[in-house]
Amino acid sequence: MNLNNIHNIYFIGIGGIGMSALARYFKANNKCVAGYDKTQTEITNTLTGLGIEVNFLDSIEGIDSKFKNIEDTLVVYTPAIPDKHNQLNYFNENGFTVLKRSQILGLITENTFCLAVAGTHGKTTTTSILGHLMHECDVPLTAFLGGIGENYNSNLILKGTEVSVVEADEFDRSFLTLSPNFACITSMDADHLDIYGDASELKKSFEDFSKKIKPNGKLFVKNGLPLKGITYGIEDGSDYNVQNIKIENGTYVFDVKTPKTILENLQFNLPGRHNLSNALIALSMAVEYGCPHQQLAKALASYKGVRRRFTYQVKTDDFVFIDDYAHHPEEINAVHQAVREMHPNKKVLAIFQPHLFSRTQDFVDDFAKSLSQFDELLLLDIYPARELPIKGVTSSWLLGKIENENKQLVSKEQLLSKIHESNAQVVLTIGAGDIGEEVKRIKKEFSIAS
């Protein structure tokens, strides 16, 4: 399909973080863009402000007439949309070209020099860092981010079309639609077992993805993963290796040993060894692409992060409030490591909203172990997202497995009072559901209190 010949593009699920980035991209390329989403959010409001029409009622009448022209309309949907969706069925039943988001990403990137970031953790932050590094090195790129980059207040970085930087999403094997020049794999921990069935199938999909790299391309892998490629790691002798780590005023200062040289006294402002690892792989890919070392060092120091990835909402001497998207046990472990490193000897209260019944069921013991590390825990009900309840899989069941005397199951309405009752100096909100909607309320309350 030649996207140049399409003028009208309609998105079903336009408010999703990946979908909205594509909508922004096509709007910037002078396409006529509109779409549907279930809920009005800050993202849909931003799209509306760009002149993109968004409707919130799943009806055929909600589709503007210009998008009912089969010859000139492309329909893009997200797998999160249910099979019984009226608008999706209308387009399917009337012979429109209907493609998944991942297929569109494949079409956009196939004629570019594509750098793809894969892995069960760290994709969004790594993609955002890589996009920023290359942007600051004046590479003519388009970067599609799975979160809102703080440097750009957007999930899209537009500086040209010769190079593309994308997340390679393993969910429903979406990343197999890509054929990148460079690709990295940050992690292969079990996840999405509702799709894959078991961890061996997930591992196989990453192996299949590694074979999608174009001839003469390069694969970067975190040291220890069972794939051959350029390795990266922290103080472990990898091809790209972080050394001499110091923390100065909350900033990492370190050296990177590359296969050819040593880059000294680099600075990076995001807390946590997991983020340092994300910065390293982004830097490695940019170095291999050919970005100048001096510009890369300056760009790395100026990187501000991604919204909801260890984002400081309140930071005073007496009280700290951090929000993070972590929704897998390993991600919670990474957040715990970061908060203990950056705020040693402080009492930490974690507020966690489990995401998906299936993920909670698959990793309940690992969740219990990771959540037990905090000094206090407030647990919210499971956020169902696209799923129906699973009998016996509840937050109460998870709470019972957590070995921590200071734990409670609470509602969102109780959060402010429970935080006030605590004497914790550091408060964390964690999860991928709608817990992010509570952040503004908590921030407002404790910005005043602190």
pLDDT higher than threshold 70 for residue 375: yes
pTM above 0.75, yes or no: yes
pLDDT higher than threshold 80 for residue 201: no
Helices (H) and strands (E) in the chain, counts: 15, 21
**Residue 147 structure tokens:** 């979160």
Strands of 73-77's sheet, edge to edge?
53-55, 32-36, 8-12, 73-77, 97-100
Helix (H/G/I), strand (E/B), else coil: 31:
coil
Tell me the C-alpha distance between 336 and 370, whole Å.
Answer: 8
Residue type, 195: I
Tell me the C-alpha distance between 188 and 354, whole Å.
Answer: 21
User: Residue 87: what are its φ and ψ, rounded to 5°?
Assistant: -65, -45
- For the chain, how long is the longest CA-to-CA vector? 64
What residue spans in the chain does CATH classification 3.40.50.720 cover? Answer: 3-99
Tell me the C-alpha distance between 156 and 358, whole Å.
Answer: 31
272 with 335: CB under 8 angstroms? yes
The CATH class given to the 3-99 domain equals: alpha beta
Please write the tens of the pLDDT for every residue from 425-441.
Answer: 999 999 988 898 899 89
Percent of the chain whose predicted confidence (pLDDT) is above 90 = 75
DSSP state letters, 333-395 = HHHHHHHHHHSTT--EEEEE--B-HHHHHHTHHHHHHHHTTSSEEEEPPPB-TT----TT-SH
Please write the tens of the pLDDT for every residue from 262-320.
Answer: 999 999 998 888 899 999 999 999 999 999 999 999 999 999 999 888 889 998 888 99
* CA nearest neighbour of 251 among 268, 273, 266, 263: 268
**Residue 197 pLDDT grade (very low, low, confident, very high; cuts 50, 70, 90):** low
CATH assignment, 311-449: 3.90.190.20
Please write the tens of the pLDDT for every residue from 69-101.
Answer: 998 999 999 988 888 999 999 999 999 999 998
Tell me the C-alpha distance between 432 and 122, whole Å.
Answer: 14
Can you tell me the mean pLDDT for 333-359?
Answer: 93
What residues are paired with 430 via a beta bridge? 324, 352
The mean pLDDT value of the chain amounts to 92
CB atoms within 10 A of CB 270: 21
**Residue 195 pLDDT grade (very low, low, confident, very high; cuts 50, 70, 90):** low
Predicted pLDDT at 80: 80
pLDDT higher than threshold 60 for residue 196: no
**Residue 163 structure tokens:** 């190079």
Tell me the C-alpha distance between 98 and 108, whole Å.
Answer: 15
Can you tell me the mean pLDDT for 50-64?
Answer: 95
Please write the tens of the pLDDT for every residue from 308-331.
Answer: 888 899 988 889 999 998 999 999
Length of the chain, please? 450
Predicted pLDDT at 387: 86
Can you tell me the mean pLDDT for 334-339?
Answer: 92
What residue spans in the chain does CATH classification 3.40.1190.10 cover? Answer: 110-301
CB atoms within 10 A of CB 234: 17
Cα 127 to the center of its chain, rounded Å: 9
For helices 293-301 and 123-136, give the axis angle rounded to 10 degrees: 130
pLDDT higher than threshold 70 for residue 65: yes
- Which of residues 39 and 140 earns the better pLDDT score? 140
Cα 156 to the center of its chain, rounded Å: 13
Please write the tens of the pLDDT for every residue from 129-172.
Answer: 999 999 999 999 999 998 999 999 999 999 999 999 999 887 66
Q: If residue 134 lies in a helix (H) or strand (E), which one and from where to where? A: helix 123-136
What residue spans in the chain does CATH classification 3.90.190.20 cover? Answer: 311-449
How many C-alpha atoms does 242 have within 13 Å on its Cβ side? 23
* CA nearest neighbour of 171 among 195, 144, 199: 195
Helix (H/G/I), strand (E/B), else coil: 10:
strand
Architecture of the domain defined by 110-301: 3-Layer(aba) Sandwich (3.40)
395 with 354: CB under 8 angstroms? yes
Predicted pLDDT at 138: 97
Predicted pLDDT at 190: 55
| Cβ within 8 Å of residue 65, ≥6 positions away | none
